[in-house]
Amino acid sequence: MSDLARAEQWMRLALEEARSAAAADEVPVGAVVVRDNQAIASAHDRKMELRDPTAHAELLALRQAADRLGDWRLDGCEIFVTLEPCAMCAGAILLARIEAVYFGADNVKFGAAGTRIDLFGDHGWNHRVRVVRGMLADECGRLLTDYFRAKRNAERD
């Protein structure tokens, strides 16, 4: 399997997480942490369920991965997320020493990986993260568009 096909396979797992979020009436964003070609954590947004403003897919997946590895340093790990990380999540990815971030849809309002601000740019942090943007972007974005359209329509009923 090519590296791209392998990476897309992880993004498809993140998409499955995002679909679970939509089914639970959470914002459909999913994230998967991968090390040595194995998924070691996967999560979706649970802000409403947990009543926790920090319960974004990425933050939950990072915490799950650290718990599994027994180490706050996620050396050698990559994260796949269906939506461009916000500032909180980009910051957490840096703190956890993640090697690479693959994301799907651009986050037009809150994107912190280049769209609104770029926390992964050259700020002189003590760690650099490789960023791959736009992976399965249409599919990732469509889930979000459909979710918010359905919410708006429900509010009108």
Q: CA–CA separation, 75 vs 71, rounded Å?
A: 9
Q: State in angstroms the smallest separation of the CB of 86 from its own copies.
A: 6
CB neighbours of residue 124 within 10 Å: 4
CB of 9 to its own copies, least distance (A): 26
Residues 4-43 that bind its own copies (CB under 8 A): none
Which of 47, 114, 115, 132 lies at the binding interface for its own copies (CB under 8 A)?
47
DSSP conformation letters of 104-150: EE--TTT-TBTTS-BTTSSS--S---EEEE-TTHHHHHHHHHHHHHH
Interface with its own copies, residue 116, by CB under 8 A: yes
Residue 63 lies near its own copies (rule: CB under 8 A): yes
Q: Residue 53, interface with its own copies (CB under 8 A)?
A: yes
User: Which amino acid is residue 74, in one-letter code?
Assistant: L
Of 39 and 95, the one with the shorter C-beta distance to its own copies is: 95
List phi, psi (to 5°) of 18.
Answer: -60, -40
Tell me which amino acid residue 86 is.
C
CB neighbour list of residue 143: distance below 8 Å, 6 or more residues apart: 15, 18, 19, 22, 28, 82
Identity of the residue, 4 or 50, whose beta carbon is nearer to its own copies in the bound complex:
50
Let me know if 58 is a catalytic residue.
Answer: yes
Residues that bind its own copies (CB under 8 A): 47-48, 50-55, 59, 62-63, 66-67, 70-74, 86-92, 94-97, 109-110, 112, 116-117, 119, 123-126
> Which residues are identified as catalytic?
58
